[in-house]
C-alpha cells in the first residue's frame, strides 16, 4: 500500500465499502490505518510498537462499535440482525483483548502472525455485517 492511500484526497477503503456515514467511514479508515501500520512493523522496536498499535486499535474498535450500535438504533435496525451484529462486536472485542494481552507478553513476536489475523476479522465483519447497513443508512440520509 502506498502513502497516497492515506491522503485526505483518497479513501483508504474502496468506494464499495463506503457506507455513506462520514463518521462510520472515517472510523473504518482509522482501523485500517492501524492494521496497515501493524503489518509494516520490523526491527528491534517492533514488539514495543506492536503493543502501542494494538492499544490504539483496541481503543478505536471500542469507540467504533459504540458509535455503530447507536447508529443502528437510530436507523431502525432491530431484532435478530441487531442482536447478531452486537454479538459480533462483543466477540471481536473479547478476541482482540486476548490477542493484545498475548502480544504484550511476547506471545506473537512482532506482528507477522498478528496483522493478517486481525485484518481478516475486520474485513470479514465489514463484509458480513456493516455492508448490510448501507441501504438503511442511505434511506435515513434521504429522510433527513
Angle between helices 46-74 and 79-104 (to 10 degrees): 170
- Residue pointed to by grid coordinates 471481536: 92
pLDDT over 70 for what percent of the chain? Answer: 85
Could you tell me if 131 and 17 are in contact, meaning their C-beta atoms sit under 8 angstroms apart? Answer: yes
Q: Can you say how many angstroms the Cα of residue 134 is from the centroid of all Cα atoms in its chain? A: 16
Residue 134 vs residue 105, higher pLDDT: 134
pLDDT tens string 20-36: 899 999 999 899 888 88
Residues 4-26 have a mean pLDDT of 67
What is the sign of the dihedral through the CA atoms of 30, 36, 38 and 44? negative
Q: Residue 3 is inside which H or E element, if any?
A: none
pLDDT band at 1; cut points 50, 70, 90: very low
Give this prediction's pTM: 0.82
Q: How many CB atoms lie within 10 A of CB 13?
A: 16
Residue 54 makes CB contacts below 8 A (sequence gap 6+) with 38, 96, 99, 100, 103, 104, 114
What is the three-state SS of 80-107?
HHHHHHHHHHHHHHHHHHHHHHHHHCCC
| Secondary structure (3-state) at 44 | coil
Q: Can you say how many angstroms the Cα of residue 38 is from the centroid of all Cα atoms in its chain? A: 13
Q: Where are the domains of the chain?
A: 47-144
Amino acid at each position: 500500500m502506498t502513502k497516497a492511500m492515506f491522503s485526505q484526497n483518497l479513501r483508504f477503503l474502496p468506494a464499495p465499502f463506503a457506507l455513506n456515514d462520514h463518521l462510520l467511514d472515517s472510523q473504518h479508515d482509522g482501523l485500517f490505518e492501524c492494521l496497515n501500520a501493524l503489518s509494516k512493523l520490523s526491527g528491534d522496536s517492533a514488539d514495543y510498537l506492536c503493543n502501542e498499535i494494538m492499544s490504539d486499535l483496541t481503543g478505536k474498535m471500542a469507540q467504533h462499535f459504540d458509535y455503530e450500535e447507536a447508529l443502528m438504533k437510530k436507523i431502525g435496525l432491530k431484532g435478530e440482525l441487531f442482536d447478531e451484529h452486537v454479538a459480533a462486536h462483543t466477540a471481536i472485542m473479547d478476541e482482540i483483548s486476548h490477542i493484545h494481552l498475548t502480544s504484550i507478553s511476547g506471545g506473537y513476536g512482532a506482528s507477522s502472525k498478528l496483522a493478517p489475523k486481525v485484518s481478516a476479522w475486520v474485513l470479514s465483519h465489514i463484509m458480513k455485517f456493516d455492508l448490510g447497513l448501507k441501504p438503511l443508512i442511505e434511506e435515513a440520509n434521504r429522510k433527513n
